[in-house]
């Protein structure tokens, strides 16, 4: 999220809205804003149904696997400390870019902590609007 906040205007310039969806209780949204500095729309789904429909990973291995541990250590070295988690600990994140007509332009599933999609990849997906879907040809 820290990666995205400085680039919010780039998404707006491409006519897109950036929406954050978490899994904690709604009352934790303000704390998330305070922590990240993100001022855009934030929603949550403690039931995790939207995460399931988005086909995002939820597993012990993804949460506590070697890759996640290494990422955590790397963050500690950088001076970033994770606060108390507010949400489902086993649920991984991800991203979807969806056009106004419902076309899924891009999908990313995180497979471990730190497996975040880059803002550049999301912005590039928005530039592909209007291209013919390869599967439909």
Partner 1 sequence: MDNETLLRSPTVSVASSREVGAMTVLNGAGEPVEVASLWTEVDAVLVFVRHFG
Looking at residues 24 to 63 of the shown chain, list those that interact with partner 1 (rule: CB under 8 A): 24, 26-32, 35, 41-46, 49-51, 53-56
Nearer to partner 1, 66 or 132 (CB): 132
Q: Is 120 in the site for partner 1 (CB under 8 A)?
A: no
- Report in angstroms how near the CB of residue 14 gets to partner 1 at its nearest: 8
Measured CA to CA, the distance from residue 113 to residue 14 in angstroms comes to 29
Answer for which of 6, 104, 118, 120 binds partner 1 (CB under 8 A) is 104
The tokens describing 15, both together, are 């006519």
Using rule CB under 8 A, residue 79 touches partner 1 = no
In our burial notation (b when 16+ CB lie closer than 10 A, e otherwise), range 53-65 reads ebebbeeeebbee
What are the CA-CA distances from residue 121 to residues 4, 29, 107, 128 (Å)? 11, 26, 10, 11
Q: With CB under 8 A, what is the number of residues at the site for partner 1?
A: 75
Q: What values do phi and psi take at 51, rounded to 5?
A: -65, -40
| Contacts of partner 1 in 84-103 (CB under 8 A) | 84-89, 91-100, 102-103
């Amino acid at each position: 999220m820290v990666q995205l906040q400085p680039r919010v205007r780039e998404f707006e310039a491409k006519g897109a809205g950036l929406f954050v969806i978490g899994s904690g209780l709604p009352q934790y949204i303000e704390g998330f804003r305070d922590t990240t500095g993100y001022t855009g729309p934030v929603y949550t789904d403690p039931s995790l149904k939207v995460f399931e429909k988005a086909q995002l990973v939820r597993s012990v291995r993804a949460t506590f696997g070697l890759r996640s541990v290494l990422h955590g250590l790397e963050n500690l070295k950088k001076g970033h400390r994770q606060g108390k988690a507010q949400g489902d600990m086993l649920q991984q994140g991800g991203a979807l870019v969806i056009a106004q007509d419902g076309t899924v332009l891009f999908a990313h599933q995180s497979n471990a902590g730190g497996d975040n999609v880059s803002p550049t990849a999301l912005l590039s997906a928005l530039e592909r609007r209007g291209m013919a879907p390869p599967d439909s040809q």
